[in-house]
Amino acid sequence: MVKLVVFDLDGTLLDTAYSLYLALRDALKDFGVEEPPFEVFKKHIGGGAYGFIAPFLPPEYHEEALMKLRHYYLTRYIDHPSARPFPGIVETLERLKEMGLHLAVATNKITEGAVRVLERKGLLNFFDVVAGRDLPKEHKPSPEHLFYILSALGGDLKPQNTLMVGDRSDDVECALKSGAYAGYALWGYNEDQLNVKPHFFIKTPIELPSLVANITRSV
């Protein structure tokens, strides 16, 4: 029986790609580096800020660039009008809460930034736990990210009671390694589908309540 749904953030709950791109553009400018095309940048979203800094700067600049990128994102672009919930997300979260489910966020973003953007976009109150890369001892794709959330929630929740929903292979791998159900969000910033083998491919957020109900009836 599914009792908990864990969502990725960027590319699953929120379409933040362009706001993140603008923050990267400003950070790269400080190093005299031209920003990549937007569509190239989008392919690197999913591993946190390190994941989309590394392809464009030498390793010795990563830490400094990371600090710059976070600063620019939080001070200039967190409220950018392009960043918004994907169509159907709000209605889906409302329905899942009505069904009595626990909801959580597992993101490779730093927790502070995740909480702030969720609050600004009106989604924070839906979630019982928000866990960024800095809280568990290992983050996605490690199963420790999900184990951290389960521990924080307490009670009798287990991986087999959990559906993880995300748009990247890290989300699928985390779910499978932990024993949770893996749902691949096809509306996000997807990789080649040949690289992922989730339990479910999900075309739109509004499919989720029915999917959860069907999983619950089948176990």
Active site residues: 8
Q: Return d(Cα 138, Cα 141) in angstroms, integer.
A: 8
Whether 130 and 148 have beta carbons less than 8 Å apart is answered as: no
Whether 185 and 12 have beta carbons less than 8 Å apart is answered as: yes
- Which stretches does DSSP call E strand in 119-213? 129-131, 162-166, 181-185, 200-202
Cα diameter, the chain: 57
Q: Bridge partners of 14?
A: 10, 85
**Residue 71, C-beta contacts closer than 8 angstroms, at least 6 positions apart:** none
